[in-house]
Structure 1
Amino acid sequence: MLIWGWRQYAQRLAVLTLVCGRCGNPAAHVLHKLVTKFTLFFVPLIPLSTKHSLQCTWCGAESNLAQQQATELLDRAQAENAQAWQQPADPSWQGQPPRNY
């Protein structure tokens, strides 16, 4: 008896703030990657297909993306995240330790 099949693995790659094409709201959009793999005895062996999608958290609209579009959005999200870490959260802090009174 040979047990084979396929299984899908979903992975959240990034969360971006974009204007939705369906509802027109500036809302968070989740970038997903869905990989379908061939399994043999419940062990994933060979990836059969990879799909990327972008889903609006406001209205739930989902759109499929090409590999290149997903890569560009992921690079954009990483750049925004790196820029956010470079700026202090409180501009009055200026790198000084808090005072203990």
Structure 2
Amino acid sequence: MIIFGSRGYVYQLAILTLVCGHCGNPSAHTLRKYVTKFTLFFVPLFPFSTKFATQCTFCGMEQRITKEQAEQLQAQAAGAHAQGQMYGQPQQQPGQQPYQH
């Protein structure tokens, strides 16, 4: 007897601050990658379906996006991270002294 099937995996790629198209609030959105893999004897062998989506953390609305859009958003998130513009980090205005602990 051969046991085969599929299994889904969810990967969180980034968290971005965007304006939600559903509720209109500027809020954090998670960028997610959904991968479905073929399994043989419960061992995942290869992916046969990959989808991307963003989800608003305020209202929960999820929107499917293309791979190209996901890559652009991931690059945008990486650029914001490199500039220190991630959630929870203070923004320094020009001419302002950095906060000392």
TM-score by length of 1: 0.85
Residue matched to 1:91: 98
Structure 1: which 5+ residue stretches go unaligned? none
Aligned match of 1:76: 76
Deviation track 1:13-66 (CA, whole Å, cap 9, x = no partner) reads 000000000100000000000000000000000111100000000000000010
How much is the aligned-residue C-alpha RMSD, in angstroms?
1.8
In 2: Cα distance, 1:54 partner to 1:66 partner:
10
Runs of 4+ residues over 3 Å off in structure 1: none
How far 1:92 moved relative to its partner?
4.9
Aligned to 2:41: 41
Unaligned runs of 5+ in 2: 91-96
Q: How many residues align?
A: 92
Q: Where does residue 56 of structure 1 map in the other structure? A: 56
- With structure 2 as the length reference, what TM-score do the two structures score? 0.85
Q: Could you tell me how far apart the structure 1 residues matched to 2:58 and 2:99 are? A: 34
Counterpart in the other structure of 1:22? 22
User: Which whole-Å CA distance do the structure 2 matches of 1:71 and 1:79 have between them?
Assistant: 12
1:10 and 1:49 map into 2 onto residues whose CA distance is 12
Taking the aligned partners of 1:15 and 1:82, their CA distance within structure 2 comes to 14
1:8 correspondence with 2:15: no
Question: Larger C-alpha radius of gyration, 1 or 2?
Answer: 1
* Identical-pair percentage: 53
Determine helix, strand or coil for the equivalent of 1:5: strand
